[in-house]
């Protein structure tokens, strides 16, 4: 199954230089003008059960599916209110059972622009709103129809996300976001497939999707430590189900609901650096693995020019 959008929504890439914060496509933080953030995130994703349509089952021909991702990430503050973010994940997949061989390689190159639309500051706290627009496309010629071992969906994706955040003066905050993802088609190495009906072509339609996230978090020890819990839901707007005893394919409707816990630490003895860790669990899904995800990473942020 493909976890590209899921990964982009839970990637932890918060940087800090003194009191300055960098951001991800889905959070509510902005860097100042001319600030650059470099990050490397590692993620381990495992599942031994998946939803075949709405039926939760295992598969001895797969056993435990493991997906490892190394995500380099760059973020830059073009202005005080406009930031750009670029990502390029390297993914490898493998299974503990069966005869199928996993895959590895570059997945999708993504670029995002985040704009701060509105900010209201009061003594009690602050309210902010943002809009993030993104585009991604395959960075290598991986086989998208080789599921669940494929590196990605093999389609171009355009996304638009709205973000709202309220932060109390104590450091406690509430954030919500909603996104729409438009996806193009992908090419399969076969000229016939079944998606509710028989289709004679190598071109597969990849369903568009929406996602929503609600997060509760807070800053501790003079903003040296950030803790956050969140829930996320992703819903495909079309698509078919995996047929009984059949293989998944990019035309499938992929839905899920998950819970996430994250922490970020900004050590005073390493100026500009931050360390992070995260845990995520998929609780409910459709045509997707019941994943447990553990992640960690390091970031470095600095001002490129005065």
On the question of pLDDT at 174 being above 50, the answer is: yes
In this predicted structure, what is the pLDDT of residue 66? Answer: 98
- pLDDT band (50, 70, 90) for residue 9: very low
Cβ contact 192:178 at 8 Å: no
State pLDDT tens for residues 187-203.
999 999 999 999 999 99
Cβ contact 229:217 at 8 Å: yes
In this predicted structure, what is the pLDDT of residue 15? Answer: 33
53 token code pair? 């349509």
Half-sphere exposure of 195 (CA within 13 A, CB side): 21
Tally of structural domains, the chain: 1
Exposed, middle or buried: residue 143 (CB in 10 Å: 0-12, 13-18, 19+)? middle
Q: Which domain holds residue 106?
A: 4-303
Mean pLDDT over 274-295 rounds to 97
Q: Reduced to 3 states, what is the DSSP secondary structure of residue 189?
A: coil
On the question of pLDDT at 20 being above 80, the answer is: no
Tell me the C-alpha distance between 33 and 31, whole Å: 7
In this predicted structure, what is the pLDDT of residue 22? Answer: 44
On the question of pLDDT at 298 being above 90, the answer is: yes
Q: Output the average pLDDT for the chain.
A: 91
Mean pLDDT over 129-158 rounds to 97
On the question of pLDDT at 17 being above 90, the answer is: no
Cβ contact 109:139 at 8 Å: yes
* Contacting residues for 199 by C-beta, under 8 A, at least 6 apart: 192, 193
Nearest Cα neighbor of 250 from 159, 148, 111, 171 is 148
Q: Reduced to 3 states, what is the DSSP secondary structure of residue 152?
A: coil
- pLDDT band (50, 70, 90) for residue 57: very high
In this predicted structure, what is the pLDDT of residue 23? Answer: 57
- pLDDT band (50, 70, 90) for residue 14: very low
In this predicted structure, what is the pLDDT of residue 189? Answer: 92
Nearest Cα neighbor of 257 from 233, 279, 235, 280 is 233
Percent of the chain clearing pLDDT 90 (strictly above)? 87
State pLDDT tens for residues 209-246.
999 999 999 999 999 999 999 999 999 999 999 998 88
- pLDDT band (50, 70, 90) for residue 4: very low
- pLDDT band (50, 70, 90) for residue 63: very high
Provide the greatest CA pair distance for the chain. Answer: 63
State pLDDT tens for residues 103-118.
999 999 999 999 999 9
- pLDDT band (50, 70, 90) for residue 28: confident
User: Is residue 4 within a helix (H) or strand (E), and if so which, with residue range?
Assistant: helix 4-10
Q: What is the residue whose two structure tokens read 């390689």?
A: 105
Q: What is the CATH number of the domain that holds 61?
A: 2.40.160.40
């Amino acid at each position: 199954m493909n976890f590209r959008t899921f990964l982009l929504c839970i990637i932890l890439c918060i940087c800090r230089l003194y009191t300055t914060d960098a951001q991800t496509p889905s959070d509510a933080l902005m860097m100042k003008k001319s600030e650059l953030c470099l990050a490397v995130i590692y993620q381990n994703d495992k599942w031994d059960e998946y939803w075949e349509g709405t039926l939760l089952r295992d598969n001895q021909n797969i056993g435990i599916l493991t997906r490892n991702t190394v995500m380099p990430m760059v973020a830059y503050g073009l202005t005080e209110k406009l930031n750009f973010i670029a990502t390029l994940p390297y993914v490898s997949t493998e299974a503990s059972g069966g005869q199928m061989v996993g895959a590895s390689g570059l997945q999708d190159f993504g670029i995002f622009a985040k704009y701060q639309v509105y900010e209201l500051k009061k003594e009690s706290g602050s309210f902010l709103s943002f809009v993030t627009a993104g585009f991604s496309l395959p960075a290598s010629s991986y086989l998208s129809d080789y599921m669940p071992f494929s590196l990605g969906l093999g389609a171009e994706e355009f996304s638009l996300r709205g973000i709202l955040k309220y932060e109390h003066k104590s450091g406690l905050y509430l954030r919500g976001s909603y996104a729409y993802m438009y996806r193009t088609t992908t090419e399969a190495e076969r000229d016939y497939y079944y998606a509710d009906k028989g289709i004679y072509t190598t071109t597969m339609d990849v369903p568009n999707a929406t996602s929503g996230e609600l997060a509760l978090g807070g800053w501790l020890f003079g903003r040296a430590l950030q803790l956050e819990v969140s829930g996320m839901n992703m819903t495909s707007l079309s698509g078919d189900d995996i047929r009984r005893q059949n293989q998944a394919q990019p035309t499938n409707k992929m839905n899920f609901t998950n819970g996430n816990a994250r922490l970020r630490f900004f050590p005073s003895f390493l100026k500009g650096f931050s360390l992070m860790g995260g845990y995520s669990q998929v609780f409910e899904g459709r045509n997707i693995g019941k994943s447990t995800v553990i992640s960690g990473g390091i970031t470095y942020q600095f001002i490129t020019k005065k």
